[in-house]
Structure 1
Amino acid sequence: MRAGRMTPGQQRGLDDGWPRFGLELETGPVDPASLFGRVAPLTFEIGFGMGQSLLEMAGAAPDQDFIGVEVHRPGVGALLNGLLKQELDNVRVYSCDALDVLRQCIADSSLDRVLLYFPDPWHKSRHHKRRIVNENFAALVRQKLKPGGILHMATDWEPYAEHMLEVMQQAPGYTNLSASDSWVERPSERPVTKFERRGERLGHGVWDLKFARRD
């Protein structure tokens, strides 16, 4: 976990919530039916930040299950604290590299959705190689999605949106769900974050991309 200043609520979330909701990479493959005690649609969110969106989605969809991954310690604590306060039991959490979790812990063809909201765009050209969205990422996600499962990405950085679109248009085995073969309208199931509202006030755009795995 990355270091960071912790509020009392975030620390309480880690102390009390991790034993209940936390998952360890070293444990290996997970069985969602055993993990949640039922068979339900499963969403995997990469980099949930401070957890507000994941908390809202889980609260609005009690009939669905969610696995979230985040390396930022205060964000993990904030989400766990929220789960305890709202008495939600349809979320499990990793705090490590999300790609390692996908490779080592998630069965092939087991996910209904993969979410990647506002990843670091690595603005400078010399840092573009650090961007998570590339051909290897697209192939790994497709491997883990069920046929018809959806990869939903969102960014407020237009050059990165264009990069995502270019990568996904070239990735085999996907169908763009945009009627214009570009972006989709902001889906109602994606919560609007404080960060996004601030961006809208400043005139920043947000680009949503949805791609479905073909059989």
Structure 2
Amino acid sequence: MTDKKPPYTEPPAAGAPEIPARRGIKSYVLRAGRMTAAQERGLKDAWPKWGLTLADGRQDLEQLFGRQAPCVVEIGFGMGKSLVEQAERHPETDFIGIEVHAPGVGKLLDEADKRGLTNLRVYREDALAVLADCLPEASIDTLQLFFPDPWPKKKHHKRRIVQLPFVELVRSRLEPGGKLHMATDWQGYAEFMAEVMAEAPGFINTAPVATAPFVERPDFRPLTKFEQRGERLGHGVWDLIYRRD
């Protein structure tokens, strides 16, 4: 129902950075598949302009974008449609996308190149490593986590990215007053997220009492075609927005 997890990936294509091996339980699975010409073009032609790797080290965001501006980071942007739309719609804001699936990275880069966007950078890396090693403390205005893999089986819940250590890491990278915005189309995962956030210190739920712990979908989160189809079928989507105190 969501475009956030394409059903394939491929062996690393020319120009695509390798995903380093990391210890611990991963919240994603890489799958083999084919690359389209547009995706290949994005990785080959646009990656040198906007691609970032762990080897680049700790970033100075003002230097990276050549200006001082709010920075929004999105983890798991899938095929990148909504992130490109946000970057185009908000030229006053800088965006960093993190995604491990090469087709999505290639597609986003190709679209960004066609639209001439300059306020967007991309990592094809493990998001936890990017947060820990590349993004400075108190540097992010908003972190977006839209439709992450729900890992619905109970025995797989440990693979869900929303865990207390992840939330604590996110908080350290948010500016005071910065926001963590999550969305999922799995009610069980939405409730799981709310339970984790209830245990996490230093966050304030922005939901009104009437809908707590959830908020109505804000206008600034683009509505995907899969979400639109889900709404027609009566499927729910749950948004959660928390502010760092």
Could you tell me which residue of structure 2 aligns to residue 66 of structure 1?
95
Q: Is residue 2:229 matched to residue 1:194?
A: no
Structure 2 CA distance for aligned equivalents of residues 26 and 131 of structure 1: 26
1:110 is displaced (CA, Å) by 0.5
Contact 1:4 1:72 in 2 (8 A): no
1:170 is displaced (CA, Å) by 1.3
1:26 is displaced (CA, Å) by 1.3
1:169 is displaced (CA, Å) by 1.3
Structure 2 CA distance for aligned equivalents of residues 4 and 95 of structure 1: 17
Q: What's the secondary structure of 1:55's corresponding residue?
A: helix
AA paired with 1:92?
R
Q: Is residue 2:58 matched to residue 1:29?
A: yes
Structure 1 CA distance for aligned equivalents of residues 103 and 109 of structure 2: 10
Q: Is residue 2:171 matched to residue 1:142?
A: yes
Structure 1 CA distance for aligned equivalents of residues 70 and 61 of structure 2: 10
Structure 2 CA distance for aligned equivalents of residues 72 and 199 of structure 1: 24
1:194 is displaced (CA, Å) by 1.4
Contact 1:66 1:92 in 2 (8 A): yes
Question: TM-score, with normalisation over the residues of structure 1?
Answer: 0.98
Write out aligned runs for 1:5-154 (5 A).
5-154=34-183
Could you tell me which residue of structure 2 aligns to residue 170 of structure 1?
199
Could you tell me which residue of structure 1 aligns to residue 244 of structure 2?
213
AA paired with 1:189?
F
Moved over 4 A (4+): none
AA paired with 2:243?
A
1:195 is displaced (CA, Å) by 1.7
1:161 is displaced (CA, Å) by 0.2
Structure 2 CA distance for aligned equivalents of residues 21 and 99 of structure 1: 20
Contact 1:134 1:167 in 2 (8 A): yes
1:179 is displaced (CA, Å) by 1.0
Q: What's the secondary structure of 2:59's corresponding residue?
A: coil
Residue in structure 2 matching 1:182, options 181, 201, 213:
213
1:199 is displaced (CA, Å) by 1.3
The answer to which of 70-79 and 178-187 deviates more is 178-187
- The number of residues matched between the two structures is 214
1:165 is displaced (CA, Å) by 0.5
Q: What's the secondary structure of 1:93's corresponding residue?
A: strand
1:200 is displaced (CA, Å) by 1.2
Q: What's the secondary structure of 2:62's corresponding residue?
A: helix
